[in-house]
Copies of this chain bind each other. A is one copy, B any other.
């Protein structure tokens, strides 16, 4: 039913690769500036500026026609494409630009925004996509190894600061070493997290200042490979000695990752997988709620899909009741955060198979660095 509807409707995307992975998925062409993708049944086209025309011809996916934009504006192009086919209805991304939509609607073009991807097949990875994701994950793991090596080589000064080659080691410096390892693998990275101590109680805090011993150091690395697929890994280390509290939290999360990877299989609801993790954490005595004005406990989703977007469907959260499918690549990343302690998060990637799931991440989960 939906498929027929889609065929009748056609699809329209106006965006850049950076903003729309659907656009790259559909066209095979990557560009920093906006271009147009139009589809009706088997007719698939991109409209690009003269600046991009030559490159688009070489790089576009098989079956996609490349047209050069000359003196027409976007509205005129869409109109001409539609009227030649006696149909003016398009499914568009949920985040299709309202400004353009307003202009197109005035010209009698009807747009239907679709939640999630215009290509739900993106959730199901092909063998070739899986291989690209694995490459990106290997880059992430090699960068994690770099970070761990630096922490291993480091010492602790009398004030409890971590020193490397005789100087205090900062979040920023460790992040640079991680990012250089990523770049040396031909991938790129930004927002790498190296958050230490109380900073790590904020899951998206990138981290600043000098690293300290005996408190959690959360390292979350997510490079995008040159194929445009992402990898994602998180480990939490502690230099010198771990507190009892740290060890209990870390051990619990390690068990959650194992448990979730065991329970993940085709047919299980994403929300159910989250709930299993949540319940286990709760059963171990860890409270989720407020600590003063701030959130504490396990207050984010268990994981998310990874592919052309670092965060994509399926979301492993209480809100997503869709069943997992064979070919989903997702993260399992339980975390526990307390403003008076810091945070601990462990993140692996798994792929859903015929009957169960395979863990893609090879990196060990020993948090202690003497």
Contact = CB atoms under 8 A, between A and B. Distances in A.
Interface in A90-127: 92-102, 111, 113-115
Contacts of A96: 97-99
Nearest to A205: B55
Contacts of A31: 204
Contact of A98 (B95, B224, B299): B95
Given A179-B183, A204-B55, A97 B94 contact: yes
A267 interface: no
Contacts of A51: 203-204, 295, 299-300
Contacts of A55: 202, 204-205
Nearest to A300: B51
Interface string A299-337: 110000000001100000000000000000000000000
A259 B139 CA distance: 46
A222 to B, nearest CB: 9
A153 interface: no
A167 interface: no
Contacts of A95: 95, 97-100
A197 interface: no
Interface string A44-66: 00000011111101000000000
A17 to B, nearest CB: 9
A351 B294 CA distance: 43
Nearest to A14: B95
A191 interface: yes
A370 interface: no
- Number of copies of this protein chain within its complex: 2
Contacts of A310: 32
Interface string A121-164: 00000000000000000000000000000000000000000000
Candidate in A31, A53, A190 with the most chain B CB atoms within 10 angstroms: A190
Interface string A208-232: 0000000000000000100000000
Contacts of A111: 98
A339 B32 contact: no
A50 B296 CA distance: 10
A180 interface: yes
A115 B99 contact: yes
A101 B102 CA distance: 11
A283 B77 CA distance: 34
A19 interface: yes
A176 B172 contact: no
Nearest to A115: B99
A115 B102 CA distance: 12
A349 interface: no
Contacts of A94: 97-100
13 contacts: A18-B18, A52-B204, A53-B295, A54-B202, A55-B205, A95-B97, A95-B100, A98-B98, A98-B111, A176-B186, A183-B189, A188-B189, A190-B224
Given A97-B113, A98-B113, 5 more contacts: A52-B202, A94-B100, A95-B99, A98-B101, A176-B183
Interface of A: 18-19, 31-33, 50-55, 57, 92-102, 111, 113-115, 172, 176, 179-180, 182-184, 186, 188-191, 201-205, 224, 293-295, 299-300, 310-311, 339
